[in-house]
Structure 1
Amino acid sequence: MSQLREENYGRGASPIAKYILLVAVIIVGSIAGWLYYPQYQISQLKKQSLEASVEESSPTYIDYYSTYPKKTLYHLALGDSIIRGVGAGQGENLVSKFSEEFGRLTNKEVDFRNEGISGMTSGELRQLVDSRKYDEEIKRANIITVNIGGNDVLKAAKKTDFQSAFKAFDSIQESFTQNLADIAARITEINPKATIVFLELYNPLNPDAAYYGMADKLLPKWNLNIYRTAKGIPTAIVVETSKVINGKNLQNLSPDGVHPNSLGYQAIASQIIFQLRTSMKKAAV
């Protein structure tokens, strides 16, 4: 009887009711596609990058720098508190840990400069890069690590209204994308041969947190823009930070629940090393 009533209700529904139902289905479907399609695009960009490097028969980044003619390599790190090393003790930050391991694997001395500034946004980093503050260091660098954007996202996270949050996310994401493109363009203009290591943003929330699911779906949309920026730079690589800092690896977070701890920075450094050992270095244009 209940099934018959449901069927009769469907047949007898007014045109306006059917229209509302159709719109609701379209909206839900659009949001689902909006959330999940970026992950597919990221996978495609990774695949294209891999195929291009294999076709060139290039050495891996580690092999390339192992045979580099100079005895000393220079690593410049730009960005926010993740670069600075907030959440870990002195000498336990990402820049120190990566530089040490990179030097060991390449049998080179690695000098490094940590220019991370806590709270920095992509707009602020763009202004500093445009001001020529880092020009000499960029010219000297063999590897330039960039982590930026987390503080841009935090502004959108302050929105409480669902619709406003979506609108704010798109707006801030658009601004971030342009800032990152400008930063990358300036770096490659000064030093087109430098390897640029971009870091993904990650979701530090506990899986039990109220907004974990939404954050986990929004981040690929944000990270997609990092991959797109890197695709236009032959010497750039994007490190999959989200593989080691996520809801399944909460032991890698400091007590503040946002920044990595010593274990977390070591995990990110190891992920960078892994990708430099397995990725082919494409020639600069």
Structure 2
Amino acid sequence: MKIIKFILLSSLLAILSFSAWIYYPQYQINKIKQENAPTVEKTNKLTYIDYYRTIPDSTINHLALGDSIIRGYNIPEEENFISQFSTQLSVETGKQVVSYNEGVIGITSERLNERVQAGVYDEAIKEADLITVNVGGNDILKLVKKSDIYSALKSFDSLQGGFSENLAEITIKIGELNPSATIVLLELYNPMPADHQFYSLADKLLPKWNLMIYEAAKGTPSSIVVQTTNVINSDNLDYLASDGVHPNPSGNTAISSQILQQFQQQHKADAVLANRQN
């Protein structure tokens, strides 16, 4: 009887531990989102749109760093979300927005971090008013290509740890070079259809990965995490290109609109406003 009780207790603890491992990240993400949600107390603060509308500069420099999501995959330059959002921002603020797209197809977080730390983008970062960064998808894709899905899952935590470190170092370096710039990060999305054999598993693991993005953003004075999963998901598969991974022009438009919506609702940090004025 004692053995049976021990087995039952061990099984219960294992289930509870696994549930916490799976669901706690989403709880943390929701908590961070609530902290950034518009409130009555914030009505005297500037939204990001208002901030860029009222800065004295007549031109807004938009730098984009990252992978093929940034670059735009098999679509014209003007149809990637960097170009589309820059155009929308120009309309909203009445200012000229100049975008510099430094996206590199296939780049990993480790490689982007190496380039950032080596000073490849230093001058562009210093001149930017807005810096959009998306990276991490290729970290996962390269791991999966090297091994079967089950072996890849065993390496998920170590892979996630490396990504978290790389992203933190990237955002810290950007903040050191340009404290007043807004850093825009994007959630990683699940491109699988709901009936895919690994959809449910990927959907549960995704918050663990995205939590690292929210934590990196939380460590910088002025940042937004774009809620990409609101627009690219199993309900909107028509936003994906034929490869089933990258957003097509319509998907890029949806991402651009999501960024604009958050710029209209979220507020620029007081510390960053002070940096800009000094």
**SS in structure 1 of the partner of residue 192 of structure 2:** coil
Distance 1:74 1:220 in 2: 31
Distance 1:202 1:54 in 2: 32
1:160 equivalent in alignment to 2:154: no
| Deviation (angstroms), 1:26 | 2.0
Match of 2:121 among 108, 131, 134: 134
AA partner of residue 40 (structure 1): Y
C-alpha contact (below 8 Å) 1:60/1:280 kept by paired residues: yes
Distance 2:83 2:176 in 1: 27
1:41 equivalent in alignment to 2:28: yes
**SS in structure 2 of the partner of residue 154 of structure 1:** helix
Match of 1:82 among 69, 82, 94: 69
- Report matched runs for 1:166-181 at 5 Å: 166-181=153-168
Distance 1:31 1:155 in 2: 26
1:182 equivalent in alignment to 2:140: no
AA partner of residue 168 (structure 1): S
Write out per-residue CA displacement over residues 16-63 of structure 1, whole angstroms, 9 at most, x where no aligned residue. 343233322322222122111111101111222347994583211001
- Report matched runs for 1:203-242 at 5 Å: 203-242=190-229
CA, structure 1 residues 130+191, in 2 after alignment: closer, same or farther (shift >3 Å)?
same
- Report matched runs for 1:84-99 at 5 Å: 84-99=71-86
1:115 equivalent in alignment to 2:99: no
C-alpha contact (below 8 Å) 1:195/1:235 kept by paired residues: yes
C-alpha contact (below 8 Å) 2:77/2:83 kept by paired residues: no
Distance 1:238 1:54 in 2: 21
Matched residue, 1:8: none
C-alpha contact (below 8 Å) 1:53/1:280 kept by paired residues: no
Match of 2:257 among 245, 266, 270: 270
Match of 1:62 among 49, 57, 60: 49
- Unaligned 5+ residue runs, structure 2? none
Q: Which TM-score applies when normalising by structure 2?
A: 0.92
Matched residue, 2:111: 124
**SS in structure 1 of the partner of residue 16 of structure 2:** helix
AA partner of residue 19 (structure 1): F
C-alpha contact (below 8 Å) 2:42/2:267 kept by paired residues: no
Matched residue, 1:105: 92
**SS in structure 1 of the partner of residue 184 of structure 2:** strand
**SS in structure 1 of the partner of residue 251 of structure 2:** helix
| Deviation (angstroms), 1:88 | 2.5
**SS in structure 1 of the partner of residue 78 of structure 2:** coil
Distance 2:217 2:22 in 1: 21
AA partner of residue 134 (structure 2): N
C-alpha contact (below 8 Å) 1:87/1:262 kept by paired residues: no
Alignment size in residue pairs: 271
AA partner of residue 180 (structure 1): L
AA partner of residue 69 (structure 1): P
Distance 1:29 1:156 in 2: 28
**SS in structure 2 of the partner of residue 281 of structure 1:** coil
1:281 equivalent in alignment to 2:268: yes
C-alpha contact (below 8 Å) 1:53/1:281 kept by paired residues: no
- Unaligned 5+ residue runs, structure 1? 1-13
C-alpha contact (below 8 Å) 2:38/2:265 kept by paired residues: no
Distance 1:52 1:187 in 2: 29
CA, structure 1 residues 275+51, in 2 after alignment: closer, same or farther (shift >3 Å)?
closer
Matched residue, 1:20: 7
CA, structure 1 residues 53+59, in 2 after alignment: closer, same or farther (shift >3 Å)?
farther
Question: Identity of counterpart residues, as a percentage?
Answer: 50
Alpha-carbon RMSD across the aligned residues, in angstroms, is: 1.8
Tell which structure's C-alpha radius of gyration is larger: 1
Distance 2:219 2:169 in 1: 12
| Deviation (angstroms), 1:210 | 0.5
Write out per-residue CA displacement over residues 223-281 of structure 1, whole angstroms, 9 at most, x where no aligned residue. 01111111111211111001100001001000000000000000000000000001111
C-alpha contact (below 8 Å) 2:36/2:266 kept by paired residues: no
C-alpha contact (below 8 Å) 2:179/2:221 kept by paired residues: no
